[in-house]
Amino acid sequence: MISKEIFSKVRKLEIRTKGLVNNLFGGEYNTAFKGRGMTFSEVRPYQYGDDIRQIDWNVTARTGDPYIKIFEEEREQTLMLMVDISGSGQFGSKVHRKIDIATELAAVLAFSAIKNNDKVGLILFTDRIEKVVYPRKGRLHVLRLIREVFYTDPVGRSTNISDALKFANRILNRRSILVLISDFQDSNYEKQLKITHRKHDFVAVNIIDPLENELPDMGIIPYLDSESRQLVYIDSSSKHVRDAYRVNKLTQRRLFKELFTKTGIDTIDVDTTRSYIEPLMNFFKRRSTRY
């Protein structure tokens, strides 16, 4: 039984994100994610200036008048959302946790997809696959996806992006739009990134929180790793410790950027302390210039 609190959260998120889809993202999504190709629609009489390569010679021979083939984009696609629900997603330095932002982004993309008559599916993962909802169409289906993100209590705490991508590649038999939403606190997943990028239209959404890049000066503080559950004590009053912490985090960010630039995979950086609307719109605009 779903609690009234979960139902209320899902309903509020639907209202908020559907407004964004109707006013901002619906058309942008359609432009950013083109269909798989062109499919034959009908024939019509040849007109001056038409491409003679499109003449349907069978119909032309049968009627005695030239006809050309009309093609249209094969629009229907599948959007598979992969959402990281590991322990680090519970972190948030201000109003929103990383998982809150991930949930809203998943909802925006899902409603954009069904507005364009695409199917939507969901994979929730940690260091294991926590939940799978196979792709379907419709508003009720999207509400189920959102509910699962809110409702699923993960068994795992850490993150295994490589295994999650392997699983997605195994269950998706045809080329799909694959959006991975995570804070990417993992390593050794480059091989699967490349495989996934070849098979699908792959996009990575990186959820970041600025406080994670800086260690505050608060003396001796306990530091609990949200994924490994290891508790250590850190002397945050030491400038050397704070500098080392910052350099380590900046190095992680740099390596992440270099990896995705090298593989040619589109990324969207979303900060928990700022609106995700601008980075998402900028991504859609970048994509639209390719066509």
Q: pTM for this one?
A: 0.79
Give the residues of the chain that fall short of pLDDT 70: 1-7, 23-24, 26, 34-41, 71-75, 222-229, 290-291
Contact present, 123 and 132 (Cβ < 8 Å): yes
Residue 119, pLDDT score: 94
Q: What's the Cα-to-Cα distance from 144 to each of 3, 49, 55, 139, rounded to whole Å?
A: 14, 50, 47, 9
Residue 177, pLDDT score: 94
Note the pLDDT tens digit of each residue in 28-62. 777 778 655 555 567 888 887 777 878 888 888 98
Residue 18, pLDDT score: 72
Q: Buried b / exposed e across 118-151, counting CB within 10 Å, b at 16+? A: bbbbbbbbbbebbbebebeeeeebbbbbbbbbbe
Strand pairing report for 78-84 and 67-73: unpaired
Contact present, 176 and 242 (Cβ < 8 Å): no
Residue 1, pLDDT score: 47
Q: What's the Cα-to-Cα distance from 266 to each of 37, 214, 269, 271, rounded to whole Å?
A: 21, 27, 10, 17
Rounded Cα distance, 180 and 65, in Å: 52
